[in-house]
Amino acid sequence: MSSTGPRRPGAGGAGARADRVKPQPRARATRQAILTAAAEHFARNGYHATSLDSVLADSGGTKGALYFHFASKDALARAVIAEMVQRWRDLRGQVNSHGLDPLATLLALLDEVIARLLDDPIARGGTRLLNDLPVAEEQARAHYGFGEQECLDLLTQAAHAGLLREGIDPAVAARQIVAIVAGNRQICDALGERHDLRQRVEQAWQLVLPAIATDTWLAAWRASR
Amino acid sequence: MSSTGPRRPGAGGAGARADRVKPQPRARATRQAILTAAAEHFARNGYHATSLDSVLADSGGTKGALYFHFASKDALARAVIAEMVQRWRDLRGQVNSHGLDPLATLLALLDEVIARLLDDPIARGGTRLLNDLPVAEEQARAHYGFGEQECLDLLTQAAHAGLLREGIDPAVAARQIVAIVAGNRQICDALGERHDLRQRVEQAWQLVLPAIATDTWLAAWRASR
DNA sequence: GGCGAAACATACCAGTGGGTGTGTTTGCAC
DNA sequence: GTGCAAACACACCCACTGGTATGTTTCGCC
């Protein structure tokens, strides 16, 4: 019952701790291992059905290691989401530099999003957690808001380049593109047919692209594949 | 350990029981109360975070009543889904008979879907359970498959009536319409802005309708509001 | 009006899971 | 090499939850 424990040096401050001192490589590795294993379990079973013991069994870590790096189960889940959002932010620079026009860039970008949604445990776990976690509105806003903004940027560029049809509101289109991806992903997941996601999104493009792009761009795009 | 218990007359067979004998009105009422309260909790907290005790506290029922009507927590959740699917099936007859053309009927139908997704606990809980429950592929297929089929029927009628553009695949459109609704619903939920669903879906129509409907139909439709 | 089954009510159990306290090792500074 | 904090290991606690066993009331029916 003694609350005089001087231990837990930066307890709950895994973020505040890493700022000052350099984290040892070993610590970084175990943290990452636990984070990844947790993301996998979260993706498969959801937040509440995931037990920390099972995560630790898969990651090779222990309770001590976990509660050194993360203040609670909730903090662990939020760390998964934060990691996912960070990776989304890093995505832009990895795809963009091919000299493609804005619309083609958007397609390439979303193709990479699909790839991660299919394979990357962090992305899969993070997206599921956005729905499982009771109060994750803030992180959900960061996630979906960033996706929308990214789409909006490219669509606005496309509009300025004259690639969009008359009367298309880039903001509406951006928002709905995000929703379409999210919806197809969710349905694929519910049906247990995750690998169908890519095909479904292609069908979505088949429907939406003619609605937003000019005929000339469409013709050129169809010719280029 | 004695397995000689003659109790639990139709245990696990709430469905098999109701076939033969007529369920008393009181029983029907308590069953419905528990089912509705459970759906509310499932919608708010998800499957695993919902405790049966809290459900029973809200419904006014007890453990005995619950486990008389439902074999397990899992069975209770599946009953919620089944009830939702049944209500979807009943939806058709309640909206259709206005002499509208197929496309307008589709819009009216989806408007009612939105309304239920916003207000009806069964629909809200059921949809969430489709993602929370570990193995609900079969029920998810019934749910989304029915939605797709319903859309497909109306779109096919619309195609025969010459209301659709050239090159539109009704099957693709149907599937994507379902995905769009699901995606917007999910995002609204994650953001904690459920009441924005209607506006978001209207934005979706603003994007998709011009892609699938002929200009003449669009003009007539816009004039009629 | 009373008999048997349906429809509940309630006390209880056993397993589980998040969290904690403390002991032990690893790594860097000097 | 030794001191000290970071980084981990491990045993343990205890609240909670799904499920069960058994007791009690309600209801259709003759």
Phi/psi at B213 (5° precision):
-95, 150
For range B129-149, the mean pLDDT:
95
Is B36 part of the contact surface with chain A (CB cutoff 8 Å)? Answer: no
Confidence of residue B92 (pLDDT cuts 50, 70, 90): confident
Looking at the partner chain, which of A48, A168, A204 has a beta carbon nearest the beta carbon of B176? A204
pLDDT at A106 over 60: yes
D16 C1' closest Cα residue? B51
State whether the beta carbon of B74 lies below 7 angstroms from any atom of strand D: yes
Q: What pTM does this model have?
A: 0.89
pLDDT at A20 over 50: no
Is A222 part of the contact surface with chain B (CB cutoff 8 Å)? Answer: no
Q: Which residues pair with B213 in a beta bridge?
A: B164
Reduced to 3 states, what is the DSSP secondary structure of residue A23? coil
**Separation between Cα atoms, residue B172 and residue B177, nearest integer Å:** 9
Mean pLDDT of chain B: 88
**Separation between Cα atoms, residue B92 and residue B109, nearest integer Å:** 7
**Separation between Cα atoms, residue B130 and residue B151, nearest integer Å:** 20
Can you list the pairs that A161-168 forms with residues at least 24 positions away whose Cβ atoms lie under 8 Å?
A161/A101, A161/A102, A162/A214, A163/A101, A163/A102, A163/A103, A163/A213, A163/A214, A163/A217, A164/A212, A164/A213, A164/A214, A165/A211, A165/A212, A165/A213, A165/A214, A167/B210, A168/A211, A168/A212, A168/B207
- Å from B204 to nearest chain A CA? 6
Looking at the partner chain, which of A132, A141, A176 has a beta carbon nearest the beta carbon of B207? A176
The one-letter amino acid code at A148 reads E
For A37: left if phi > 0, alpha if psi spans -120 to 50, otherwise beta; the answer is alpha
pLDDT of residue A94: 82
Is B49 part of the contact surface with chain A (CB cutoff 8 Å)? Answer: yes
pLDDT tens, residue by residue, A115-163? 999 999 999 999 999 999 988 999 999 999 999 999 999 999 999 999 9
DSSP codes of every residue in A159-213? HHTT-BPTT--HHHHHHHHHHHHHHHHHHHHHHT-GGGHHHHHHHHHHHHHHHHB
Is A67 part of the contact surface with chain B (CB cutoff 8 Å)? Answer: no
pLDDT tens, residue by residue, B37-72? 999 999 999 999 999 999 999 999 999 999 999 999
pLDDT at B12 over 50: no
Gap from B73 CA to D4 C1', Å:
53
**Separation between Cα atoms, residue B34 and residue B28, nearest integer Å:** 10
Cα angle value B141/B144/B148 (rounded, 5°): 120
Quick one: which of B29, B56, B26 has its CA closest to B41? B56
pLDDT tens, residue by residue, A159-169? 999 999 999 99
- Å from B191 to nearest chain A CA? 5
Q: Which residue of A has its CA nearest to B182?
A: A183
Confidence of residue B97 (pLDDT cuts 50, 70, 90): low
**Separation between Cα atoms, residue B198 and residue B181, nearest integer Å:** 10
